[in-house]
Amino acid sequence: MRQCAKVFGPLLLVALSQIFVTGCGSTSSSSGTGAPGGSPSSNVLINLSDDPGDQVVSFTLTIDSISLLPQGGGQPVTVLSAPAQVEVTKLAGTSLALGMATVPQGTYTGAEVVVSNPTVAILNADGSTTTQTLPPGPLTIEVTFDAPVTTGNSASAITFDLQVLGSIAIDANGNVTFTPDFRGNGGPAPSGAASPGQQAPTNSNLAHFQGTVTGKGVNSFTITLGTQNLIITVNSSTRYKGVKDLSSLSSGMVVAVDGGVQPDGSVLAVTVTVLKQPKKFTLDGTISIVTGNPATQLTVISRSSVGMDDAPEIGSKVKFNVAGAQYSIDNDDFSLAGLPFTPTFDSSNVFKGQLVQMSATATANPSAPPTLTASGVELQPQTVSGTPSNENGGTFTLTLPHDSAFARLTGAGTVTVITTNQTDIDGANGVSALTSHSRVMARGFMFFDQGQWKLVAIVVNVEK
């Protein structure tokens, strides 16, 4: 792998595998003049997103390195050098920051991405899951940007979209092959931090950026990412979940930050969510079994976890006792008011097929995933894809592929998608234009109401 002249201070976050790295010629992610030879430099935010695969319930791989390719040739610019394991399916319809790099100003036409160790979990027709560890690689992918990206005095953002649907092939015998298909695009990074409910696939926002708290200041706190530290700034508008305020944060807590990269390269938090406190953990995945009504136990297909002593294999089914658990919806600033139905999520309105985050007490190195007792069940945004039809004002019908994980779990053939004035519609001029496209992806909150599945959409994307 070709490298830049020098790379300083890679920062690795294992929990969600997001990385802030400082690129060639700078020791700070906010530097603007430290390129090799004294030439001007620019801040570039590197994002990763995902075009989902229908049968895939979890997919992890390691991104070993990313280097930008200058127009006309020349030395590639390394923007990611420390390997990072990423759970890809959670990125459908949104993006996560892989890094903030300081790079020489100029025009870049593509990138070289090196990946390894792919593992995929698929949902079979009978409701069982199969987890396959694929050939480890590494694999080197040459990515050509949709259009050249020119970096200047202002920050830029580049998003690498892994097309899971086009990268993973599953034959009639359930054998999986992986041929990575990355797309790349970029441009100026919007300044400021949008609300967490508005995360779009290509922007300078950070969605659930995770790290371990190691210190606090007057209006900031420090999180550890691998061997380095990153300062998160807060203000009077920052909201907290799991703790009261900044003063309640303590060393050792694992937090998720929703916020945005500011023009100077700093991170301003919109929301700070505590994911792990001492002796506690979180696990997210899709509900496959609901026991009791009201629910007394949930079986969840594991996608990823934070803070477990022995994390279950992706695709494995973990049981939670939920009697007494608190139910909530992770909608932050995305309003669920004024809808044509009442969105309800509680012990009597929780269903298989919904994506949730479970909070529970950590166990001491269990030999196998036991039945755990959950203190919280939080509904998460999830993604479905299909063919749009029956547009009616702000709603439309999405017909699902017969082999989609959601259809196999629920038996549903369609989902009613409801948009609001906060919904981001990408690739079409409003809901009325969606039905002219063959495939649409919708990300939002899934409810089962009066015998119908209804998804309140945060993002609707026309798939290309």
Distance of CA 5 to the CA centre of its chain: 31
| 382-462 maps to CATH 2.40.50.140 | yes
Q: According to the model, what pLDDT value does residue 156 have? A: 76
DSSP H helices in 359-416: 405-410
- Whether residue 345 is predicted with pLDDT greater than 90 in this model: the reply is yes
Q: If pLDDT is split at 50, 70 and 90, which confidence band does 378 have?
A: very high
At residue 204, φ and ψ (nearest 5 deg) are: -100, 15
Q: Tell me what percent of the residues of the chain surpass a pLDDT of 90.
A: 26
Residue 370 has pLDDT above 70, yes or no: no
pLDDT, position 25 = 28
DSSP 136-182: ---EEEEEEEEEEEEE-SS-EEEEEEEEHHHHEEE-TT--EEE---E
Burial class (CB in 10 A: 0-12, 13-18, 19+), 72: exposed
Q: Are 120 and 130 in contact (CB under 8 A)?
A: no
pLDDT band at 244 (very low <50, low <70, confident <90, very high): confident
Round to whole Å and give the CA distance between 379 and 445. 7
With 50 as the cut, is the pLDDT of residue 8 above it?
no
Q: Is residue 90 helix, strand or coil?
A: helix
List the one residue out of 327, 308, 415, 420 whose CA is nearest residue 366: 308
Confidence of residue 40 (pLDDT cuts 50, 70, 90): low
Q: What is the mean pLDDT of the chain?
A: 77
- Percentage, residues of the chain above pLDDT 70: 74
| Residue of 292 and 258 predicted with greater confidence | 292
Lowest mean pLDDT, pick from 146-150, 161-165, 407-411: 161-165
For residues 182 and 139, give the distance between their C-alpha atoms in angstroms, rounded to a whole number: 12
Q: What is the pLDDT of residue 63?
A: 85
Domains 205-276 and 280-379 share a fold: yes
Q: Spell out the domain ranges in the chain.
A: 7-191, 205-276, 280-379, 382-462
Cα–Cα–Cα angle for 355, 359, 365, rounded to 5 degrees: 115
Q: Are strands 382-392 and 440-449 parallel, antiparallel or unpaired?
A: antiparallel
Q: Is the pLDDT of residue 298 over 70?
A: yes
Q: Tell me which architecture the domain covering 280-379 has in CATH.
A: Beta Barrel (2.40)
CA dist 299 and 156 (Å) reads 42
- This prediction has a pTM of 0.69
Q: Which tens digit of pLDDT belongs to each residue from 111-161?
A: 999 989 888 888 877 778 888 888 888 989 899 998 998 887 776 778 887
| Token pair for 10 | 């890679």
Lowest mean per-residue pLDDT among 79-83, 112-116, 322-326, 424-428: 79-83
Mean pLDDT for the stretch of residues 376-391:
91
Between these two residues, 365 and 458, which has the higher pLDDT value?
458
**Residue 286 — pLDDT band, cuts 50, 70, 90?**
very high
Q: With bands split at pLDDT 50, 70 and 90, how would you rate the model's confidence at 202?
A: very low
Ranked by mean pLDDT, which of 32-36, 351-355, 433-437 comes out on top?
A: 351-355
Q: Please report the pLDDT score of residue 252 as a whole number.
A: 82
- Please state, in angstroms and rounded to a whole number, the distance separating the CA atoms of residues 61 and 87: 7
Nearest Cα residue to 422 out of 387, 457, 463: 457
> What is the pLDDT averaged over residues 411-424?
93
| Across 44-58, 347-361, 446-460, least confident range | 44-58
Express each pLDDT in 52-93 by its tens digit.
Answer: 556 788 888 888 888 999 999 889 988 877 777 778 777 665
Fold of 205-276: OB fold (Dihydrolipoamide Acetyltransferase, E2P) (2.40.50)
